């Protein structure tokens, strides 16, 4: 009996130690034609979230999803005492490319969340909500789906990235990759909660049509990203 | 803590005994080892609506990967992903096998592959979605070391794009029954790296020049892989 108690307290001590974890994180853009804006990955407490499916996007999530600005989410993460890996790609993560970084987590920050806007979209983002970080050392793979923040109509035409500004932001590499003069796919956003993105529609006319997105290049199927976490 | 130390010593003693036992065995004059065959049955279940799969390539290899996201496809993989012809791919690997024919939608394709004296082989499987420009499904260097005889593994497969041919969906560049066009073209007019496939658009969803219809669209997962260790 005494032995049993000692053994359990030993396990408890071990788990406490590994809760403060040393992680290697890499994110691969699995798509053929979609860019990711700066990525934020945060380790936080089990009850915290950067976003939740079925809930209204926070203004900080909206700023990330519509314009790629992660400063708001970074502040939210800091306020919840999270440990964050910010912008590991140093800008856009191009199709097929991988970005890596290290993340040291404080005790109690046992869940991982991640977000980055997808371009060209209106408010599409890659997202991971509250993934429990394994306590056992090893390498773990998580496939990431595309979400829609529900904050902007998916008109799929050139516009701006400021929250509330219609249309898609068009930073330099996208300038020559997307079309012009689209009349707009839709002006309504019917589901205003965070939801799984229905995908880009696009069209086959770079100079006209409804959409400025190319339907053979800038569509996607899930999963759109691969997260690899090595627990050391 | 005392108790824990004692447990640790017992474990240490046990290890010593185990090692001693092993070296005893090694000292025996056993006859020369027979070749040990490791044989696996690979089943590819086609989950698509109207995308026949080209003859399956099943390859057992020691290390490496036959493709990687973000890296250019090999010429042999390009050949299979654009035309369905797996012969170049298989030619590079002695422990490999081809499926006997096209695997139709809703059908299971089965192939057996074996390797000698290697319990730690990696399995790579690939097959083209023939009503596409260069889409393929595959298992990429799956470790088999933990699979015991009679055990099986099941995995769902997503669709890759070889990145070697633009997804123009034109009749003359799609080899499957939807088009009957040419398959392989050595020209690389696409991104030139392997990625996940964006899906086919089709003439019914806004690509006027496409030979494909709504029927040829697909989503992930598109195949189910089942691996059984037979021997």
- The predicted-structure confidence for B78-116, as pLDDT tens digits, reads as follows 999 999 999 999 999 999 999 999 999 999 999 999 999
Q: How far is CA A158 from the centre of its chain?
A: 22
Distance CA A6, CA A57 (A): 47
Q: Do A204 and B193 touch (CB under 8 A)?
A: no
B191 contacts on A by Cβ (under 8 Å): 32-33, 95-96
Query: If pLDDT is split at 50, 70 and 90, which confidence band does B34 have?
Result: confident
Q: Which CATH number fits domain A20-231: 3.90.1640.30, 2.60.40.2130, 3.40.50.300, 3.30.360.10?
A: 2.60.40.2130
Q: Do B198 and A220 touch (CB under 8 A)?
A: yes
What DSSP state is assigned to residue A203? B
CATH number at residue B141: 2.60.40.2130
Distance CA A190, CA A167 (A): 16
- Going from N- to C-terminal start, the domains of chain A cover 20-231
> Which structural domain range is residue B161 located in?
37-229
Distance CA A101, CA A81 (A): 19
- The predicted-structure confidence for A84-101, as pLDDT tens digits, reads as follows 999 999 999 999 999 999
Distance CA A190, CA B27 (A): 76
Q: Do B220 and A219 touch (CB under 8 A)?
A: no
Q: Are B132 and B165 in contact (CB under 8 A)?
A: no
B206 contacts on A by Cβ (under 8 Å): 201-204, 215
Q: Provide ipTM, 2 decimals.
A: 0.89
Instruction: Provide residues of B within 8 Å CB-CB of chain A.
Output: 1, 3-4, 7, 69-71, 158-159, 161, 163, 166-169, 191, 193-199, 201, 205-209, 219-220
Q: At what angle do helices A71-79 and A59-67 cross, to 10 degrees?
A: 150
Q: Do B199 and A221 touch (CB under 8 A)?
A: yes
Domain count, chain B: 1
Residue B190 neighbours by CB under 8 Å, 6+ apart: B134, B161, B163, B164, B165, B166, B167
Q: Do A221 and B159 touch (CB under 8 A)?
A: yes
Residue to test with chain B: of A14, A182, A221, A225, most B Cβ within 10 A: A221
Closest chain A residue to B6, measured at CA: A3
Q: At what angle do helices B2-27 and A2-19 cross, to 10 degrees?
A: 90
Distance CA B118, CA B121 (A): 6
Q: Provide the token pair at B131.
A: 């009503």
B54 phi/psi in degrees, rounded to 5: -65, 165
Is pLDDT at B16 greater than 90 in this prediction?
Answer: no
Report the mean per-residue pLDDT for chain A: 93
Taking residue A71's Cβ as centre, other Cβ atoms within 10 Å add up to 13
Is pLDDT at B182 greater than 80 in this prediction?
Answer: yes
Closest chain B residue to A225, measured at CA: B196
């Amino acid at each position: 009996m005494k032995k049993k108690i000692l053994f359990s307290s030993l396990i408890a001590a071990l788990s406490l130690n590994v809760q403060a974890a040393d992680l290697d994180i890499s994110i691969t853009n699995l798509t053929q034609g979609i860019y990711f804006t700066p990525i934020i990955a945060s380790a936080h407490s089990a009850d915290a979230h950067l976003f939740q499916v079925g809930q209204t996007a926070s203004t900080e999530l909206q700023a990330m999803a519509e314009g790629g600005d992660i400063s708001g989410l970074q502040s939210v993460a800091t306020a919840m005492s999270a440990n964050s890996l910010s912008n590991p790609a140093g800008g856009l993560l191009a199709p097929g490319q991988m970005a890596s970084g290290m993340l040291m987590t404080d005790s109690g920050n046992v869940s991982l969340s991640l977000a980055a806007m997808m371009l060209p979209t209106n408010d599409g983002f890659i997202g991971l909500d509250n993934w429990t970080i394994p306590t056992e050392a090893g390498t773990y793979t998580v496939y990431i789906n595309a979400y829609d923040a529900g904050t902007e109509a998916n008109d799929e035409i050139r516009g701006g990235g400021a929250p509330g500004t219609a249309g898609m932001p068009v930073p330099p590499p996208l300038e020559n990759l997307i079309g012009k003069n689209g009349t707009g796919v839709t002006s309504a956003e019917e589901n205003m909660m965070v939801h799984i993105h229905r995908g880009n529609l696009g069209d086959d006319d770079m100079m006209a049509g409804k959409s400025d997105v190319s339907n053979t290049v800038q569509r996607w199927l899930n999963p759109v990203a691969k997260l690899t976490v090595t627990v050391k | 803590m005392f108790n824990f130390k004692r447990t640790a010593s017992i474990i240490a003693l046990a290890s010593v005994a185990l090692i001693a036992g092993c070296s005893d065995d090694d000292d025996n004059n056993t006859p020369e080892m027979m070749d040990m065959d490791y044989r696996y049955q690979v089943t590819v279940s086609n989950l698509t609506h109207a995308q026949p799969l080209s003859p399956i390539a099943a390859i057992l290899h020691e290390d490496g990967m036959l493709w990687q996201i973000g890296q250019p496809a090999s010429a042999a993989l390009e050949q299979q992903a654009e035309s369905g012809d797996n012969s170049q791919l298989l030619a590079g690997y002695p422990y490999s096998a081809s499926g006997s024919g096209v695997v139709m939608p809703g059908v299971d394709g089965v192939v057996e592959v074996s390797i000698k004296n290697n319990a730690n082989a990696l399995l790579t499987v690939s097959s083209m979605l023939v009503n596409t420009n260069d889409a393929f499904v595959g298992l990429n260097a799956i470790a088999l070391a933990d699979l015991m005889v009679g055990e099986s593994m099941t995995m769902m497969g997503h669709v890759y794009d070889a990145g070697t041919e633009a997804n123009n969906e034109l009749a003359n560049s799609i080899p499957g029954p939807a088009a009957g066009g040419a398959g392989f073209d050595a020209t690389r007019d696409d991104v030139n790296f392997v990625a996940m496939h964006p899906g086919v658009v089709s003439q019914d969803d806004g690509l006027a020049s496409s030979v494909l219809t709504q029927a040829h669209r697909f989503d992930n997962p598109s195949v189910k892989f089942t691996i059984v260790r037979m021997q």
